[in-house]
Amino acid sequence: MSEILFQNAQRQHKAGNFAEASRLYGEILRLNPRNVEALYAFGFLHYQGAHYGEAERLMSQVVDINPRMPEAHYIQGCSLQRLNRIEDALAAFDRAVANKPVFIEALINRGASLMALSRHNEALKDFGAALAVNPAIAGVWSNCGCILQNLNRHEEALACFDKALALDPNLAEALVNRGAALLALKRFDGAARNYEKLLSVHPELSDVHGHLVFCRLQCCDWRLLEQDRADIAAGLHAGKRVIQPLINARLSVSPADQLQCARIFARGWPASPDPLWRGEPYRHDKIRVAYISADFCDHATSWLAAGLFEHHDRSRFETIAVSLFADDGSEMRARVKNAFDGFIDAEGQTDAETAALLRQMEVDIAVDLMGFASGCRPGLLALRPAPVQVNYLGYPGTMGASYVDYIIGDPIVIPEEHRRFYTEKIVILPDTYQCNDSQRRVAEKTLSRAEAGLP
């Protein structure tokens, strides 16, 4: 009886009649709750229907009965991935590969989980194992490129994206990341051609037109500048994410459009409905100020602000750095690190982990030195880890986000007539918002124009 029911259920399942297949699988399992074939098929049906919680529950039952069934571990892992339970998904893929070492799909998905956990070298190993069996999987080459890109191995990343596109010329993620690799290598002409192709085949993708315009500007190619301005303004007015705010600030002369652009961009990091700080008073002897930046290294931000960090009144303030980027080994990194009372290396942390740490430390004021500059992580402030949250220095434009309370500016960078285009409260410093370091070395000799190679 069960065998006939199962055959009927499979026929309905393959024909796409999921409701009838579900009814038949349920009937089989009422007769025998430990029927592994029916449990697996029923779980797979739920997975196909995007009912990932139920799919995971059913696959868990399958592997309890038969722990040596790699396909069940695999679908369990895929379901956990969709539920954003990455560590649990990784464990399921481990079990799938342990039971079937050359399981390409499990290797690829395990690599993706490792990639999401920033375990780059382990992910590369899994992707390499999959490509050794089947080198014609474009998406895996693209994933390898993304990892190499994150490791700042841009030439190797570019080669991977080229291999992906040789297999699938219109693969969106490969085109997107190939453009980023070319930008990192400052090959703006090649990046422009890449973004032209991407815009032609995937015009719906975010920011592509903006990247294309940026590359054209870097190449001093102004032939389409006025048309680009008009097209991007039209996209912003339609509420589309067509350009990043920092690029738009170079292009647009409209403060209203710049505000609209920031608001659209900020949608990517909506304010948390469950903020970490909920109005609780802190009682400290000193005010705790955390500076958040990816540029605590040999970078312009640190060259400007190192002296500022060193000159805080330590009798009144406790200062903390939250570094979003790894140690570059520079003299400036060491100096900046020494300027703070506490230093958090947050490159390997999620936004939630870093924000929770700031809340646990009872930080009073969080100062984001990035805004929407490259390397920014607005998701930190979106979780509201601090009572007061400030945009300063790295991006002197509005962030258009409700969770940024203040921006620090001056009468030049934020003139009176532009203030209505900022969502933050504006703190105006009397002379200039831009700090600078009094210890910066001055050249011992002023070069002549000829010595500098100038006419």
User: Which CATH number do you get for residue 112?
Assistant: 1.25.40.10
- The reported pLDDT for the residue numbered 211 is 97
221 pLDDT higher than 90: yes
Same domain, 319 and 249: no
pLDDT digits (tens, 9 = 90+) for 17-30: 999 989 988 888 88
pLDDT of residue 176: 97
The closest of 346, 366, 351, 392 to 287, measured between CA atoms, is: 366
- With a cut of 90, say whether residue 168 has pLDDT above it: yes
Please report the pLDDT score of residue 2 as a whole number. Answer: 73
Among 135, 160, 177, which residue terminates a domain?
A: 135
In a domain, 161, yes or no: no
Q: Checking DSSP bridges between strand 287-293 and strand 365-368, what pairing results, if any?
A: parallel
Measured CA to CA, the distance from residue 175 to residue 114 in angstroms comes to 22
pLDDT at 357 over 70: yes
Q: Taking 80 as the threshold, does the pLDDT of residue 390 lie above it?
A: yes
Domain extent, residue 258, equals 186-266
User: What are residue 313's phi and psi, to 5 degrees?
Assistant: -75, 100
- Identify whether residues 342 and 413 lie together within a single domain: yes
For residue 201, tell me if it sits in a domain.
yes
* In the block, residue with structure tokens 């029923």: 42
In 3D, which of 190, 189, 140, 148 has the Cα closest to residue 168?
A: 140
Quick check: 262 and 371 in contact, CB under 8 A? no
- Look at residue 8 in the predicted model and tell me its pLDDT: 87
pLDDT beyond 60 at 194: yes
Q: Is 243 part of any domain? A: yes
Judge whether 171 lies within some domain: no
Is residue 111, in this structure, part of any structural domain at all? yes
In a shared domain, residues 208 and 321: no
Cβ contact 383:276 at 8 Å: yes
Query: Which residues touch 250 (CB under 8 Å, ≥6 apart)?
Result: 214, 217
For position 1, what pLDDT does the model report?
A: 52
Residue 365's region, left for phi above 0, alpha for psi from -120 to 50, else beta, is beta
- Residues in Cβ contact with 187 at an 8 Å cutoff, skipping those fewer than 6 apart: none
| Contact predicate 139/164, CB 8 Å | yes
pLDDT higher than threshold 60 for residue 215: yes
| Residue-level pLDDT at 188 | 98
392 and 342 within one domain: yes
Checking if the pLDDT of 220 tops 70, the result is yes
Mean of all residue pLDDT scores within the chain: 95
Output the CA–CA distances (angstroms, integers) from residue 268 to 241, 261, 377, in the order listed. Answer: 10, 12, 11
Q: What is the 3-state secondary structure (H, E, C) of the chain?
A: CHHHHHHHHHHHHHCCCHHHHHHHHHHHHHHCCCCHHHHHHHHHHHHHCCCHHHHHHHHHHHHHHCCCCHHHHHHHHHHHHHCCCHHHHHHHHHHHHHHCCCCHHHHHHHHHHHHHCCCHHHHHHHHHHHHHHCCCCHHHHHHHHHHHHHCCCHHHHHHHHHHHHHHCCCCHHHHHHHHHHHHHCCCHHHHHHHHHHHHHHCCCCCCHHHHHHHHHHHCCCCCCHHHHHHHHHHHHHCCCCCCCHHHHHHHCCCHHHHHHHHHHHHCCCCCCCCCCCCCCCCCCCCEEEEEEECCCCCCHHHHHHHHHHHCCCCCCEEEEEEECCCCCCCHHHHHHHHHCCEEEECCCCCHHHHHHHHHHCCCCEEEECCCCCCCCCCHHHHCCCCCEEEECCCCCCCCCCCCCCEEEECCCCCCHHHHHHCCCEEEECCCCCCCCCCCCCCCCCCCCCCCCCCC
pLDDT in tens, 315-342: 999 999 999 998 999 999 999 999 999 9
Is 163 part of a structural domain of the chain?
no
Other C-beta atoms lying within 10 Å of the C-beta of residue 68: 11
Residue 100 lies in a domain: yes
Tell me the pLDDT tens digit for each residue of 223-282: 999 999 999 999 999 999 999 999 999 999 999 999 999 999 999 999 999 999 999 999
Q: Does residue 318 sit in the same domain as residue 248?
A: no
Please indicate, yes or no, whether residues 10 and 108 belong to a single structural domain of this protein: yes
Quote the pLDDT of residue 441: 84
Q: What is the pLDDT of residue 386?
A: 98
Same domain, 66 and 193: no
Lowest mean pLDDT of 55-59, 136-140, 348-352, name the range: 348-352
**Sign for the pseudo-dihedral over CA of 110, 115, 119, 125:** positive
pLDDT band at 142 (very low <50, low <70, confident <90, very high): very high
Q: 297 and 345 share a domain?
A: yes
Is 24 within the bounds of a domain?
Answer: yes
Q: Tell me: do 116 and 249 sit in the same domain.
A: no
Share of the chain above pLDDT 90, in %: 91
Quote the CA–CA distance of 115 and 160 in Å, as a whole number.
Answer: 16
Strand 342-345 and strand 425-428: pairing? unpaired
In a shared domain, residues 262 and 313: no
Number of neighbouring beta carbons within 10 Å of residue 256: 14
CATH number for the domain spanning 299: value is 3.40.50.11380
Structurally, the chain folds into a number of domains equal to 3
As a whole number of angstroms, the distance between CA 105 and CA 224 comes to 45
| 296, 203: one domain | no
End-to-end CA distance of the chain: 94
- Which tens digits make up the pLDDT trace of 77-108? 999 999 999 999 999 999 999 999 999 999 99
Claim to verify: residue 103 and residue 25 sit in the same structural domain: yes
Distance CA 69, CA 288 (A): 53
